[in-house]
Amino acid sequence: MTFKELGFSELILESLFYMGFEKATPIQEQAVPEIFAGHDLLASAQTGTGKTAAFMLPILDKLSQMKRDKTTALIIVPTRELALQIDQQIQAFSYTTNISSIPLYGGGDGQDWETQKKALKSGVDIVVATPGKLTSFINNKYLDCDGIKYLILDEADRMLDIGFYDDIIAIIKKLPKDRQTLLFSATMPNKIVKLSSEILNNPKQIRIAMSKPNAKILQAAYLVYDSQKVALLTKLIKDKPKYKSIIIFSSTKKNISIIIGELKRQGIKASGISSNLDQKEREKIMLEFRAKNIRVLVATDVISRGIDVKDIDLVINYDVPRDAEDYVHRIGRTARAAASGVAITLINEDDMNYFGNIEKLIEKEIYKMSVPEELGESPEYNTRKRRNFGSRKPAQRGGGKGRPNNNRRR
Ligand code: AMP
């Protein structure tokens, strides 16, 4: 379906033309008519589905045709990176309009706070904010919520995981009751259902089934001992000069500095991103990575969700995420839009059960290899709870990249 068929006005169609958006994605096809009709929405969709445009375009279309003198739309998101990214998308989508927006997030310096205060005073149509920062802006009366007609919660499950439930409820209590509310979440656990029953009014429900990774991502795993991880990592990166953009994910901040130190010793240019860095430093690194000036980015899950960097060739999971959904988010950083990509996970003995949970979630058995011979023996693959995938083919030799691991305990 085209955006014209969805009923967008000429101004928005013009911006979409400049952005090269031709056809609506499934979430856009389903969400846009409901939003135009004024319904509340409970949508289950992951990043990569085009969900930002799905909620933002109809809201921008509505705003462009309204008289606006106060902040009219509020978007609440879990992280500052996502706030910045959505704000940037708004700027692109509303290029042909005079709609204004501002991201509000914590972690900046006093100057940021002043700039944000000034922008709010001068009147801004859309605010994209993290819950903590938003709470302090509302409590200090820097943000006037009386004119808010559209409220969007993006990545709501992530916000609840971080512990923002009470903040969100407190913020919403301060908003006008007569508003349209859209709730987007990658997953629909009970706590999201509970939140939606408290804040949505007779919502339309949309589910875009996508807890499975994009089929264009080639997924594989190595069975490793911890002592082999760094050597394997550097070998993987050195052996793949054609991969220009690589992300390595690790669950712990401590590992980030260990990995970077080792990569640098091996002459590989790498930078790290974790919640240890302040906002300015994180933005600078992301900018350099997007511009392909940094080949390898080493990060915690702080950037595993929602961050849209084009043309990432390879994602390496230095460890297995405890939350199986995080795996889908991490590897979803590659094979964005029409591209393909590779995701490799290093599995140590402690992580085997967690990897089993991931395979269960994505309903797929991932090809597992032993480390290359020069690094020694690999551990045997063994999960306590055996899973049933129908056929269990033994791992096979894969293009010389590693040795198949057939050492399964019976
Ligand atoms: P999201 O799921 O919002 O993170 O979007 C993923 C990526 O898809 C972003 O780079 C969007 O700019 C892009 N995108 C969203 N909708 C479309 C569309 N209809 N056509 C082409 N690209 C799109």
Flag whether 292 is in a domain. yes
Residue 354 lies in a domain: yes
pLDDT score at 109:
67
pLDDT in tens, 184-206: 998 888 899 999 999 999 999 99
> Has residue 66 been placed in a domain?
yes
- Residue with the smallest CA separation from ligand 1 atom 17 is 50
Q: Which of these three, 153, 176, 207, is where a domain ends?
A: 207
The atom number, within ligand 1, closest to the CA of 85 reads 4
Closest residue to atom 20 of ligand 1, CA basis: 21
Total residues belonging to the chain: 410
Q: What percent of the chain has pLDDT over 70?
A: 89
**Partners of 135 in beta bridges:** none
Rounded Cα–Cα distance for residues 301 and 291 (Å): 21
Last residue within a domain, chosen from 158, 178, 207 = 207
Question: Which of 56, 34, 74 minimizes the C-alpha distance to 172?
Answer: 74
- Domain holding 77, by residue range, is 10-207
Residues 6+ apart with CB under 8 A from 387: 356, 359, 360
pLDDT band at 389 (very low <50, low <70, confident <90, very high): very low
3-state secondary structure of 27: helix
Residue 249 falls within a domain, yes or no?
yes
| C-alpha span between 122 and 133 (Å, rounded) | 19
Confidence of residue 406 (pLDDT cuts 50, 70, 90): low
The two most distant CA atoms of the chain are separated, in Å, by 70
Whether residues 301 and 346 fall in one domain: yes
Domain final residue, candidates 181, 207, 233: 207
Mean pLDDT of 72-97: 93
Pocket of ligand 1 (CB under 6 A): 21, 23-25, 28, 47-53, 308, 337
For residues 274 and 222, which has the higher predicted lDDT (pLDDT)? Answer: 222
Strands 367-370 and 403-404: antiparallel
* The pLDDT value given to residue 408: 47
Apex 299 CA angle, 218 and 377, nearest 5: 60
- Residue 354 buriedness (CB in 10 A; 0-12 / 13-18 / 19+): middle
Q: How many domains, in total, are found in the chain?
A: 2
